[in-house]
Each structure stands twice: as structure tokens, then as C-alpha cells.
């Protein structure tokens, strides 16, 4: 992805969040120059990859295959079970009209996906079989405290305010209902690790390779090692 495209997506996302009166923490608005001046007091942001996250899943077509996320809080898988450790995560996501997040599951994470406003959110669901492929078995999920059963491959519709609990190893793909604008979705989950806890049905990239055609207005989580001296490079 070009940095100019990422910057444009960031600006659009801020407008969408403002329109829903969803407020971000102060570090969301730090500039690259401000990040270069930060000391070890900001390490938790970088260590747990809090902040802006934009991906086209390596497809090169963000409007068709992509997702905007902002991670508000997160812990670490390796310490999640220790007393007093943060063992949960929270994100806000914006899904464009008809934009797809490809089919995937999480090895460890259970998450609630909540439609926070805008268009309906469509979530296609499958169980995973013993070989990590799509199973044809009936899917059982919790939706706002109610147990629901669906045939494999059902497109489940979440209207604004509705939510779905997605346990580990449940395949899911999601998109905003075409023709109805953007959806804003929240995610509340166990600790999130997008480097090692995702299993996509088809091999794709989770984080974009960025072509620097202009300066970033704000940093993505993958930019921290370049601008913040206390950040550690993560992932494969």
C-alpha cells in the first residue's frame, strides 16, 4: 500500500469515528516526530501494538479486501495467565461498503464482534475440521446471550447494537452490507496476536508492505520500530 493511501484512509476513519462520537486516546494523534521524542514510558503502546492498523491483506485492493482497525488495549499471550496481567483486548474497526475481511480463524482468541453503528455487518461462519479446513457441520454461536444454530456457510446479519461471540477455531469472514455505507464494529476479546494467532483459509498477508510516497500523518503499529527507539520488531 502507498503511504498516501494509508494517510487518506486514516483521515476518513477519523471522520467516521467523530461522526459516531467515538473518541480515541491521546496517543492516537501523536505525530512521527512526537514518537521520536518518546521514552520508555510509552513502551506498552509499542510492545502490545496499540494504535492504527490498516491492511489490504496483500491483495492490493483495499476497497474490496481490507480492514481499518484501531487497537485500544491489549496484553501479551505469553503473560496473559499471570495474576494481574491484562488478558483481554479491545479494538474498533471500520468496514467499508462491501469490503471483505477474508475467511480466517484464531487458534487461541475468543472474541465478541459488536456492530457499533452504520450499516449491517454480515459474518459468514464455518466450523474448522481437524485438518483446519472448512467443515460442513452445523455452527453453534452465542448472539447477545442467545444460543443460535446455523448451517455451515450461513451469512449471519448483525444490525447496529447486535453482537456475536466467535470462539477460537471458528472460521469467519465479514463485510458491510453492500449499498448501505460503512459499518463501525467493536471487538472485545482475549489477548490479540495478529502475527501468530490467525489462520487464514487461503494464504494472504496480514500487515501491508508500505510504499513511502509521502510522510505518515500518524504511525501504524508496524511503523513503531522505525520511529520509536524502544520498539521491538515483531512477527515473521
Q: Are 128 and 146 in contact (CB under 8 A)?
A: no
Neighbouring C-beta atoms of residue 171, cutoff 10 Å: 25
Residue where the block lists cell 503511504: 3
**From first to last of its 236 residues, what are the pLDDT tens digits of the chain?**
999 999 999 999 999 999 999 999 999 999 999 999 999 999 999 999 999 999 999 999 999 999 999 999 999 888 888 998 899 999 999 999 989 999 999 999 999 999 999 999 999 999 999 999 999 999 999 999 999 999 999 999 999 999 999 999 999 999 999 999 999 999 999 999 999 999 999 989 889 999 999 999 999 999 999 999 999 877 65
Strands (E) located in the chain: 51-55, 67-73, 88-95, 100-106, 111-118, 121-127, 139-143, 146-150, 154-158, 163-166, 170-176, 183-190, 198-200
What is the residue extent of each domain of the chain? Answer: 3-227
Within 8 A by CB and 6+ apart from 177, the residues are 97, 98, 119, 120, 121, 122, 157, 183
- Please tell me the number of Cα atoms within 13 Å of 51 on its side-chain side: 23
Phi and psi at 221, nearest 5°, equal -60, -30
- Tell me if the pTM is above 0.85: yes
Plot region of 163 (φ>0 → left; ψ -120 to 50 → alpha; else → beta): beta
As a whole number of angstroms, the distance between CA 39 and CA 100 comes to: 38
Architecture, CATH, for domain 3-227: Sandwich (2.60)
CA dihedral 58, 101, 184, 158 (to 10 degrees): 180
Amino acid at each position: 500500500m502507498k503511504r498516501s493511501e494509508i494517510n487518506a484512509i486514516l483521515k476518513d476513519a477519523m471522520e467516521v469515528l467523530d461522526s459516531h462520537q467515538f473518541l480515541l486516546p491521546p496517543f492516537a494523534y501523536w505525530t512521527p516526530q512526537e514518537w521520536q521524542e518518546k521514552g520508555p514510558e510509552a513502551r506498552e503502546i509499542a510492545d502490545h501494538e496499540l494504535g492504527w492498523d490498516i491492511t489490504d491483506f496483500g491483495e492490493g485492493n483495499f476497497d474490496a479486501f481490507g480492514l481499518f482497525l484501531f487497537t485500544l488495549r491489549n496484553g501479551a499471550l505469553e503473560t496473559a495467565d499471570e495474576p494481574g496481567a491484562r488478558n483481554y483486548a479491545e479494538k474498533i474497526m471500520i468496514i467499508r461498503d462491501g469490503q471483505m475481511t477474508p475467511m480466517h480463524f484464531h487458534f487461541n482468541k475468543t472474541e465478541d464482534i459488536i456492530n457499533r453503528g452504520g450499516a449491517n455487518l454480515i459474518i459468514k461462519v464455518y466450523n474448522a475440521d481437524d485438518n483446519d479446513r472448512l467443515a460442513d457441520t452445523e455452527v453453534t454461536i452465542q448472539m447477545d446471550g442467545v444460543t443460535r444454530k446455523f448451517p455451515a456457510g450461513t451469512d449471519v446479519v448483525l444490525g447496529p447494537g447486535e453482537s456475536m461471540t466467535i470462539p477460537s477455531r471458528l472460521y469467519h469472514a465479514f463485510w458491510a452490507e453492500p449499498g448501505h455505507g460503512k459499518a463501525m464494529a467493536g471487538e472485545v476479546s482475549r489477548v490479540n496476536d495478529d502475527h501468530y494467532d490467525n489462520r487464514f483459509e487461503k494464504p494472504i498477508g496480514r500487515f501491508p508492505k508500505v510504499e513511502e510516497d509521502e510522510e505518515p500523518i500518524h504511525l501504524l503499529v508496524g511503523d513503531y520500530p522505525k520511529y520509536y527507539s524502544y520498539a521491538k520488531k515483531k512477527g515473521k
